[in-house]
Amino acid sequence: MKNRFFTIIAFLGLTALFFSSCSKVPQAEIDAANTAIEQAKLAGADVYVQDNFVALQDSLNNVMVSIESQKSKFIKNFSTAKEHLAGVTQYAGEVKQQAETRKEELKVEIQNTISEVKTLIETNRQLILEAPKGKEGTSALVAIKGEIDAVETSINETSTLFESGDYLATLDKAKAAKEKATAINTELSGVIAKYKTNVKNKKA
Amino acid sequence: MKNKILLLVSFLVLVIATVTSIRIKTNKPPEIEVMKAANMLAKAQYEKSPKFAKEAFHEATFHYNSAMTEWKKQNEKFILLRDYRKVSEFAKKSMEYSEKAIDKSRIFIASTEDILKIRIETIGQKIKGFEEYYGKFPLDKKRDNYTRCKLLYTESLHAYNSKNYSICKVKLDSVEIVINDVFNHCQENLINYFEDYSKWNEMVKITISWSKKNQSYAVIVDKLNRELYLYKNGKPDKKYTVELGANWIGDKIQQGDKTTPEGLYKIVEKKQNGQTKYYKALLLDYPNEEDKKRFSMNKRNGILNQDAEIGNLIEIHGSGGKGIDWTDGCIALTDKEMDEIFKSCTIGTKVTIVGSVKTLSELSYNIK
């Protein structure tokens, strides 16, 4: 009878041990997921791939809820949570990559726009030289020159913004400068074309 | 004795098992509530609540974190002593705040979008209006600010299209300050300029009656509207568009101010091609006696430097039609138009240059 009693106790103890082996909170996996999310954030995921970053955080929150839920149970099982955490960590890596790709795309777009604006500035300065002048040369073109200068100042300011890493604002600024430089180019070309037509008519 | 102990232990185990199972059944972990709170929080983030409904979103996050902390705290306790009611309360509160944040954010975005759209349109109209009415007004140092402001306006449009509303608002604020400033500056200048209207009107009347009386041509130049009227026997015969000096507003004060003078003048020389670097020219008798008198007075009063010169060689000439004000104070026309005027005018033809032949109220300047 005594032996039987101890056998039952031993069986219960072993069963408890079996379940406890699965009941350890997957802290290492939680830490890995958090670190991966933090790295994605450092890569600018919360700015450049905002929606994906929110989805990522939401996934982690859901896993944390399921972990607490398991912790509340008498018999705990974290194996599903572990799988999900691995998934979150992997997804965080992907989101980080997406953010970096988007940043690279923006950088290229910014550099191209800046380069286009610089070319337009040069062309516009050249057009100024061809534009009709008064007795004292360029007096009537001062306003347009001022506009070209303002575009140049603005495009120089984009470098500071670019260095600060705010690529979205930088692109907006560069695009605005491009629009203005293009408008000046159209205006100057129009004036020159009109002037040339007049000169041609005069010769005819 | 042994049987009694076994019975007692079994009974105790049974009691504990019953109590535990009842307790577990009645004190279920709030998984569904917390999960819902987490999802609602994510939804609030998608709806840009952290940006547009900061307070409500902050409360939602705070209550969600509190729910999780409380849950952890309860889980650390012995299973029979756990109480998840607070966790549920926090989760519910978090959901409430998330919902509030979502609503607020949606309303804010919709209203901000509308407000900014209206502001963009209004300011755009203002810039367009400014270009239309005051585009040719000399702005001096304010020109740089205005140029910068136009660039900022374009930037604000980009910010709006990228849904970057706070940046768009900041840029529009700056644009509005500058455009209002230059608008007021030009409006003030225009009102001041028109203080001379009665004088201009008198000069126009004198010129027309001279043309009528002498049965000859006379020229009236309207600087503001860039128009040259050719009168014949006291009646308007033809109208031409002219180009002036870059700093055309106001009367000419001294040499080099790039201003077209205002007053009663007459043609003193007709220059054929070869006698002028432009396409034909009609030389005016600027400075006349009145100009000389005013120039000397300005010098005496210290308005002008002692080494200032009065200027001369004010002409009506060709080589114009460039579409911009480019002369140093002369009046330029296209060569074809110059031919017509040159043919009609003789030495002695009166040329009257005024700010405007129309009153300010007759012009569409919408002065407030």
CA nearest B139 in A: which residue?
A143
**What is the pLDDT at residue B283?**
93
pLDDT at B366: 56
Q: Are residues A140 and B326, on separate chains, in Cβ contact within 8 Å? A: yes
Is residue A16, in this structure, part of any structural domain at all?
Answer: no
Residue of chain B minimizing CA distance to A138: B326
**8 Å CB contact of B322 and A191:** yes
For B251-275, what is the mean pLDDT?
A: 88
Q: In this predicted structure, which of A187-201, B4-18, B23-37, B211-225 has the lowest mean pLDDT?
A: A187-201
CA–CA min distance A62, chain B (Å): 6
Q: Per-residue pLDDT averaged across B32-58, rounded?
A: 94
Q: Provide mean pLDDT across the span B266-279.
A: 89
Segment of A188-192, A193-197, B171-175 carrying the highest mean pLDDT: B171-175
Given A67, A101, A135, the domain boundary residue is: A101
Q: Are residues A91 and A113 in the same domain?
A: no
Do A5 and B6 lie within an 8 Å CB cutoff? yes
Nearest chain B Cα to A69, which residue? B31
What is the pTM assigned to this prediction?
0.67
- For position A137, what pLDDT does the model report? 41
Taking an 8 Å cut-off on Cβ atoms, the answer to whether B158 and A172 are in contact is: yes
Looking at the fold, whether A108 and A66 belong to one and the same domain comes out as no
Q: Cβ separation of A176 and B324 shorter than 8 Å? A: no
Rounded percentage of chain A residues whose pLDDT exceeds 70? 78
Which of A68, A101, A134 terminates a domain? The answer is A101
> B216 falls in which pLDDT band (50, 70, 90)?
very high
Nearest neighbour of A135 by CB, restricted to B158, B279, B327? B327
The answer to whether residue A12 sits within a structural domain is no
Pair A45, A84 in one domain: yes
Mean predicted lDDT score pLDDT of chain B: 89
> Which residue among A62, A173, A195 places its CB closest to the CB of B38?
A62
Test mutation, A6, A23, A68, chain B, max B CBs within 10 A: A68
Pairing of β B263-271 and β B331-332: unpaired
CB burial of A38-66 (b: ≥16 within 10 Å; e: otherwise) equals eebbebbbbbbbeebbbebbbbbbbbbbb
Of the three residues A57, A85, A101, the one that is the final residue of a domain is A101
Share of chain B above pLDDT 70, in %: 98
3-state helix, strand, coil split of chain A in percent (to 5) is: 90, 0, 10
CA distance B178 to chain A (A): 15
Instruction: Check A51 against B41: CB less than 8 A apart.
Output: no
H or E segment and range at residue A185: helix A167-203
Across the interface, whether the CB atoms of A194 and B147 are under 8 A apart is answered no
Look up the CATH number of domain B196-362.
2.40.440.10
Convert the pLDDT of each residue in A59-71 to its tens digit: 999 999 999 999 9
Q: Is residue A199 included in any domain, yes or no?
A: yes
| CATH code of the domain made up of B1-110 | 1.20.140
Query: In this predicted structure, what is the pLDDT of residue B1?
Result: 73
**A92-96, B13-17, B87-91, B107-111: segment of lowest average pLDDT:** B13-17
pLDDT for residue A199: 59
Which of chain A's residues have a Cβ under 8 Å away from the Cβ of B46?
51, 54
Task: Write out the two tokens for A163.
Answer: 């260095």
Residue B41 has pLDDT above 80, yes or no: yes
Would you list the domain boundaries of chain B? 1-110, 196-362
Would residue A89 count as lying in a domain? Answer: yes
Helix (H, G, I), strand (E, B) or coil at B331: strand
**Each residue's pLDDT tens digit, A28-45:** 999 999 999 999 999 999
| Residue A204: predicted pLDDT | 44
The DSSP result for B237-299, as a single string, is: EEEEE-B-BTT-SS---STTS-----EEEEEEEEEPTTSSSSSSEEEE--S-HHHHHHHHHHH
Give chain A's domain count. 2
Its domain, for residue A69, covers 22-101
